[in-house]
Amino acid sequence: MNLLEVEGLRAGYTEEVDILNGVSVQVGEGEIVAIIGPNGAGKSTLLKAIFGLLRPREGKVTFSGEDITGAAPEVIVRKGMSYVPQVQNVFTSLTVQENLEMGAFVREDDFSDRLEALYRMFPDLERKKGERVGRLSGGQRQMVALARALMLDPKLLLLDEPSAGLSPAMVSVVFEKIREIKGAGVAILIVEQNAKEALRLSDRAYVLAMGRNVLSGPGEELLENEEVGRLYLGGG
Amino acid sequence: MLELFVYGIVLGSIIALGAIGLTLVYGILRFANFAHGDLMTAGAYVALFFVASLFPSLGVPDARLAPFSFGWRMVAAFPLAMAAVAGVAILLDKTLYRKLRQKGSSAVMLAMSALGASFIVRMVVLILWGADYRSFYPGVLRPAMELPLGVKIRPDQVLILGVAAFLVVLLHLFLHRTKMGKAMRATADNPELARVSGIRTERVITCCWATGGALAAAAGVLYGIDVQIHPGMGWNFLLPLFAAAILGGIGNVYGALIGGLVIGVLQQLSTAFLLPTYKPAVAFVGMILILLIRPQGIFGPRE
């Protein structure tokens, strides 16, 4: 059984217009799955609909065998799924440490060991833990966003364009961290503009266009696929 | 002049307590709570009810705490008034604002409903206690003591400053040391990310109203100790409260604190040149002048 099963999801922001026209996606335990596609294909919308920020009109979302279609984000996060939005994914007026504490908000017990583990993974953040996140660089903020989402030790992490707006050097650092997170056994569903990197990183990938699945397959295979190359990887 | 400055700080500390509540509610709910001033009034009258009606009928002893103008009954009534108004604020939220929020009403609609709520609170006070000016301890002499440089100040006013400072420190510790306080700051900073992190926003909102209501009640009672209370007092405070909150950068607690002090001092200093009737105008001229230099307010975000 897959960790996440999305079947025929239909959703949109206004009454009449559907951004998603029946998308189906699966993510297995510990698997990293990429979603690529042109602007406006509905990639980010899909993550929002999975995480309960947008109510699906049709279709079904199953997580760990439990139907979570239309559940609120504050409920879904308690089931072991975390989400990192593309923008505004940190609390800028809070310190680094407070951001991580908010990531563990639903935990009532002592989470200092988890905090330490994440500081080992992101040593930069430990040095800056008392600093307000608004004062950090874009790359460091992205690390805070990832660490916040990992505080609950989720089974599945939803990442919306983690490389957007970062310098090329920082992009490779972020992808390196994502590999590391996967190495720790966390399944990842990642949406990316940076399709080449995303495909190299992932076990499997889906190509989305006009709110529909167009293609799917192992990441390396799609990287070789001529049509994908022509349409989404910029070059023939 | 120095004396007026000191009185300004006293008045400013009262304005600051009200403005902090206003700015907290704005920070989390993004609407202008026009009923905030009347929560101050409600606090003052709840304290009056305890001090002048309930405690005497229960036979609660009331030795006067020299050199202050009040006794033990006021010490007991103060936190009770804060708790009661926190309750009123939560009740208003659950019966009114929450319903509108769930219907997706605009900020203007919420502000207008708050205006309505302010009338209701004020009229209830009028019906229960009448329109007269009242004192917590009528007829008590309130001698002033003399500080260096010839500044005359009443012991009550020194205490008002102390209590206001204590409450601000308490609020600071709450916002920075407790889980709920941090969740309130996080929700004000980024409500969607707060939900995504599992923070139950409705609980944060309830807590925000409780804090704002309690601080407003404290401000109302302190003003009553300093001067007198009447049903229109909070309404008259509304403009200075907004001026203080906006001046400090709306949504910023420390901005509201500084804004309150600035407005208080400006208002009192102006009485050396102008009739006291112009005090609200002075508050706004001061606000406009500072906003011309720093449009985002003293502590507002730079973006």
Write the ipTM. Answer: 0.91
Question: Is B196–A85 a contact, with Cβ atoms under 8 angstroms apart?
Answer: yes
Quick one: average pLDDT of B196-202?
94
Q: How far apart are CA B249 and CA A154, in angstroms?
A: 38
pLDDT, chain A, mean: 91
For residue B199, give how far its alpha carbon lies from the nearest alpha carbon of chain A (Å). Answer: 6
Residue A75 scores a pLDDT above 50 = yes
Q: Which of A194-198, A219-223, B163-167 has the highest mean pLDDT?
A: B163-167
Question: Is A92–B190 a contact, with Cβ atoms under 8 angstroms apart?
Answer: yes
Q: Residue A153 CA to chain centroid, in angstroms? A: 14
Residue A234 scores a pLDDT above 80 = no
Question: Is B196–A77 a contact, with Cβ atoms under 8 angstroms apart?
Answer: yes
Instruction: Select the residue of B189, B196, B199 nearest A93 (Cβ to Cβ).
Output: B189
Chain A residues whose beta carbon lies within 8 Å of the beta carbon of residue B194 = 91, 102
Alpha-carbon distance values, A233 to A38, A169, A230 (Å)? 10, 20, 6
Question: Is A77–B197 a contact, with Cβ atoms under 8 angstroms apart?
Answer: yes
Residues A82 and A149 sit within 8 Å (Cβ to Cβ): yes
For residue B172, give how far its alpha carbon lies from the nearest alpha carbon of chain A (Å). Answer: 14
Residues A136 and A144 sit within 8 Å (Cβ to Cβ): yes
Instruction: Select the residue of A51, A94, A102 nearest B199 (Cβ to Cβ).
Output: A102
Q: What's the pLDDT tens digit per position in A108-131?
A: 999 999 999 999 999 999 999 999
Question: Is B200–A74 a contact, with Cβ atoms under 8 angstroms apart?
Answer: yes
Chain B residues whose beta carbon lies within 8 Å of the beta carbon of residue A92 = 189-190
Residue B302 scores a pLDDT above 70 = no
Q: Is B202 on the interface with A (CB under 8 A)?
A: no
List of residues 6+ apart from A145 with CB closer than 8 A:
A84, A85, A89, A90, A162
Question: Is B197–A88 a contact, with Cβ atoms under 8 angstroms apart?
Answer: no
SS (H, E, C) chain B: CHHHHHHHHHHHHHHHHHHHHHHHHHHHHCCCCCCHHHHHHHHHHHHHHHHHHHHHHHCCCCCECCCCCCEHHHHHHHHHHHHHHHHHHHHHHHHHHHHHHHCCCCHHHHHHHHHHHHHHHHHHHHHHHCCCCECCCCCCCCCCEECHHHCEECHHHHHHHHHHHHHHHHHHHHHHHCHHHHHHHHHHHCHHHHHHCCCCHHHHHHHHHHHHHHHHHHHHHHHHHHCCECCCHHHHHHHHHHHHHHHHCCCCHHHHHHHHHHHHHHHHHHCCCCCHHHHHHHHHHHHHHHHHHCCCCCCCCCC
Residue A235 scores a pLDDT above 70 = no
Closest A-chain CA to B180: A105
Quick one: average pLDDT of A188-209?
90
- When pLDDT is cut at 50, 70 and 90, the band that residue B200 belongs to is very high
Question: Is A105–B198 a contact, with Cβ atoms under 8 angstroms apart?
Answer: yes
Q: In this structure, what are the phi and psi dihedrals at residue B272, rounded to the nearest 5 degrees? A: -75, -25
Amino acid A229: pLDDT:
73
Nearest CA-CA partner of B196 in A64, A116, A106, A43? A106
- When pLDDT is cut at 50, 70 and 90, the band that residue B298 belongs to is confident
Q: What's the pLDDT tens digit per position in B84-122?
A: 999 999 999 999 999 999 998 888 999 999 999 999 999
Instruction: Select the residue of A78, A88, A106 nearest B193 (Cβ to Cβ).
Output: A88
Nearest CA-CA partner of B25 in B14, B13, B35? B35
For residue B194, give how far its alpha carbon lies from the nearest alpha carbon of chain A (Å). Answer: 8
List of residues 6+ apart from A190 with CB closer than 8 A:
A32, A33, A34, A35, A158, A159, A162, A178, A198, A201, A202
Amino acid B286: pLDDT:
86
Amino acid B126: pLDDT:
96
Amino acid B62: pLDDT:
83
For residue B249, give how far its alpha carbon lies from the nearest alpha carbon of chain A (Å). Answer: 14
Q: What's the pLDDT tens digit per position in B165-192?
A: 999 999 999 999 999 999 999 999 999 9
Alpha-carbon distance values, B272 to A8, B3, B57, B265 (Å)? 74, 11, 44, 12
Nearest CA-CA partner of B219 in B206, B235, B234? B234
Instruction: Select the residue of B186, B195, B196 nearest A94 (Cβ to Cβ).
Output: B186
- When pLDDT is cut at 50, 70 and 90, the band that residue A223 belongs to is confident
For residue B190, give how far its alpha carbon lies from the nearest alpha carbon of chain A (Å). Answer: 6
Instruction: Select the residue of B179, B189, B198 nearest A94 (Cβ to Cβ).
Output: B189
Question: Is A91–B189 a contact, with Cβ atoms under 8 angstroms apart?
Answer: yes
Amino acid B90: pLDDT:
97
Alpha-carbon distance values, A211 to A18, A46, A50, B101, B274 (Å)? 8, 9, 14, 31, 67
Closest B-chain CA to A98: B182
Question: Is A88–B190 a contact, with Cβ atoms under 8 angstroms apart?
Answer: yes
CA dihedral over B220, B12, B248, B237, signed as positive or negative: positive
Closest B-chain CA to A104: B197
Residue A88 scores a pLDDT above 50 = yes
Amino acid B301: pLDDT:
66
Instruction: Select the residue of B185, B196, B200 nearest A93 (Cβ to Cβ).
Output: B185
Q: For residue B211, how many C-alpha atoms fall within 13 Å in the half-sphere facing its CB?
A: 29
